Structure 1
Amino acid sequence: MRVGEERWSGRVIDLRGVRERCGVEFDATRVAEAVRSDHAESEAIAIDCSDPGPVHEHVGLIRSGMDVQLRAALAAAARSRGRIAPQADELAAVRERLDALDAPEIDLRDARRRVADASDEEAALRERVATLQGRVQALRDVSGKASEHGGTVEAERAVETKRAVESELTEATRRLSEVETERIAAEQALARARERAAANRERRRERLRLQDRADNLRRAAREHLAGTVREPFEDAREEAPAEVTEASVGEALAVARVAELDAPVVLGRDVEAFGSVDVAARWLDAPVICP
């Protein structure tokens, strides 16, 4: 361990009374953070140690006023000793299914809008085609009557107008065919999107069911694992120094004692209950740092 330019090594490190000598401000929290860091030499406090396990999240720093989630801490202690819950295989399988069950939200608004736009344009074009067809028929009638009565000029004008309207009708009919195709494609796309949305809703329901199952399995596994170390935990709590009067500190010390700890435990002023840091380390059977 290094603080500033000062260095220590071993399973027991007592830093009390060295702040002025080190020229670095630190407390128990900062030291505990250094235990969990990547041991970067560029930091003011660097600790080269084994990687802390999950149990350190609960009892890596033991001090007055701490809050211990006892069941989770005991389960982590059991895992540190290689205990495996009977629910482990099923829980792993459920988690694997959850990871594979992707259910993104499907937004149908764009698909609905494309159908609506195509339908509106199709309706307008059908109306225009019908109007143009009516005009063409009317112009044919005018042209025919003009020819019957010898109105050559009038008949020619009617024919020219009819040709122009027929050209418009041809273009409108062509565009109507295109829009019909677009509308059908949009409706088919909407139908597929609805099918995907329905499938996704089913996947989301399945995810909720699996998540609920995973939560239940986690709780059951935690309960089982905690139970495997409950008796030695109770013994350790009874054997804690009488000077440890705060319940949460006593629980944390007992959890740390029944756990398999390779990374250091950081002890606050409660270390004084043991008389010395060396005694605390022997009682915990773990590396100890006392800031």
Structure 2
Amino acid sequence: MRVAFGERVRRGRAVDLRNEGVPASAVVAAITDPDDGRVRGQRPAAVHEHVGVLCEGTTLRVGVALAAAARSRGARTTHDDELAAVTRQLAGLSTPDVDLAAARERVAAAEAAVGHMRERAARVQGRTQPGDGEPVVAVTRALTAVETEWHAAKERLRRAQAAWADARRRLSLEDRRANLEQAAR
């Protein structure tokens, strides 16, 4: 870069004019005006959206500015890699429709039915005389069916909880991607 204001000419990758009496507004105008020959060098790139005139009290998100500078020179940054990784992870996740409350209610109802059938089986077994096995067999079959439904309901609840965890992970990744995209601007 070459900077020439009056008799003062400075060259280098970065030029500090704080002690030269040149107003910052004049330097900015010379940089942004393609016809002004006082500042010669590469045209402003994406990094100039993040840096420009640095005055006392100026705050700068150094990581974001450096990433913008790297991208303006064609380099991939860790930020870009992270954004790509998050996008790949999102592509591998489905968006399940999960109703955990209903699954929990089914488990509770099945559990209550099992308790009821176990009590009924115990009563029938206590009243049954030797040779009077048919009522016991019928109640035992009914108890087995209710217990099977209870175990199936618990398994469906476990699957619903796993799907819910995937849905939460998807939301978290979508938030992360949005934050990364916002930071890149």
With normalisation by structure 1, the TM-score equals 0.34
Contact 1:122–1:179 at 8 Å: present in 2 too? yes
Contact 2:114–2:146 at 8 Å: present in 1 too? yes
Report the count of equivalent residues.
120
Aligned pairs for 1:218-233 (under 5 A) are none
Gaps of 5+ in 1: 1-73, 76-82, 212-291
Structure 1 CA distance for aligned equivalents of residues 70 and 180 of structure 2:
19
| Aligned-CA RMSD value | 3.7
Structure 2 CA distance for aligned equivalents of residues 140 and 169 of structure 1:
13
Structure 1 CA distance for aligned equivalents of residues 104 and 75 of structure 2:
48
Q: Aligned residue for 2:121?
A: 136
Q: Aligned residue for 1:25?
A: none
Match for 1:190: what amino acid? W
The correspondence for 2:106, drawn from 121, 131, 139, is: 121
Q: Aligned residue for 2:145?
A: 171
Match for 1:177: what amino acid? H
Match for 1:85: what amino acid? P
Structure 2 CA distance for aligned equivalents of residues 191 and 89 of structure 1:
36
Q: Give the secondary structure class of the aligned counterpart of 1:110.
A: coil
Could you say if the C-alpha distance between residues 195 and 185 of structure 1 is closer, same or farther in structure 2, counting changes exceeding 3 Å? same
Q: Give the secondary structure class of the aligned counterpart of 2:44.
A: coil
Q: Give the secondary structure class of the aligned counterpart of 1:188.
A: helix
* % identity of equivalent residues: 19
Shift of 1:198: 1.4
Q: Aligned residue for 1:55?
A: none
Structure 2 CA distance for aligned equivalents of residues 108 and 90 of structure 1:
33
Shift of 1:119: 1.4
Shift of 1:208: 1.2
Could you say if the C-alpha distance between residues 210 and 94 of structure 1 is closer, same or farther in structure 2, counting changes exceeding 3 Å? farther
The correspondence for 2:80, drawn from 85, 94, 97, is: 97
Structure 2 CA distance for aligned equivalents of residues 89 and 199 of structure 1:
25
Question: Which of structures 1 and 2 has the larger relative contact order (alpha carbons within 8 angstroms, sep 6+)?
Answer: 1
Contact 2:96–2:164 at 8 Å: present in 1 too? no
Cα deviation, 1:158-215, whole Å, max 9, x if unaligned, reads x32221111011011112111211111211221122122112212211211112xxxx
- More moved, 185-194 vs 84-93: 84-93
Match for 1:179: what amino acid? A
With normalisation by structure 2, the TM-score equals 0.51
Structure 1 CA distance for aligned equivalents of residues 44 and 112 of structure 2:
73
The correspondence for 1:206, drawn from 171, 177, 180, is: 180
Gaps of 5+ in 2: 1-32, 35-41, 48-68
Contact 1:108–1:194 at 8 Å: present in 2 too? no
Q: Give the secondary structure class of the aligned counterpart of 1:85.
A: coil
